Amino acid sequence: MASTLRVLLIALVAFSCVPSTAQAGMPSITLTDIARMRVQTISFFAMGLLLSSWFVQLLWNYLRRDFSVLPRLNYGRALGVVILWGLLFVLVLTMISGARELMTPGAWEKQGATYRLSQDPRPESRESEER
């Protein structure tokens, strides 16, 4: 019974790994180039997040040998630490960009998805400089 189940499981895995060809008239669903690039980007950052969490776990547990006060860090907590630090960096960078806009109001104008310096941010200040 167990050997029959094992053979069926191996056959199922082997059958699912073999690519099938689309017959004429069958729909073929593929991603657009933009969607494919988005999936690749998300996969890249997800892998970076997972690898950096693994590195933080290794580094923390290595430092634990010298500092016995530190508790042992498992992978889930290392992942939480990396995500928390990432959110902290996003917050700080958002505050920096907000401060940039507050210190120079009207100096930046939106161009597509990014911002660029406007040509003449405050015309009245240039007139006072010329006098």
Spell out the per-residue pLDDT of the chain, length 131, in tens: 677 888 888 887 777 776 666 566 666 677 788 888 999 999 999 999 999 999 999 999 999 999 989 899 999 999 999 999 999 999 999 999 888 778 887 777 888 888 888 876 555 555 555 55
Domain ranges, residue 67: 39-106
30 domain-assigned: no
- 122 with 106: CB under 8 angstroms? yes
Q: How many domains does the chain have?
A: 1
DSSP state of 111: E
9 domain-assigned: no
Q: Which helix (H) or strand (E) is 57 found in, with range?
A: helix 33-66
43 domain-assigned: yes
Instruction: Specify which residues 22 forms β-bridges with.
Output: none
The pLDDT of residue 41:
93
Task: With 0.95 as the threshold, say if the pTM is over it.
Answer: no
The pLDDT of residue 118:
80
Report helix, strand or coil for 37. Answer: helix
In the chain, the N- to C-terminal Cα span, in Å, equals 97
62 domain-assigned: yes
120 domain-assigned: no
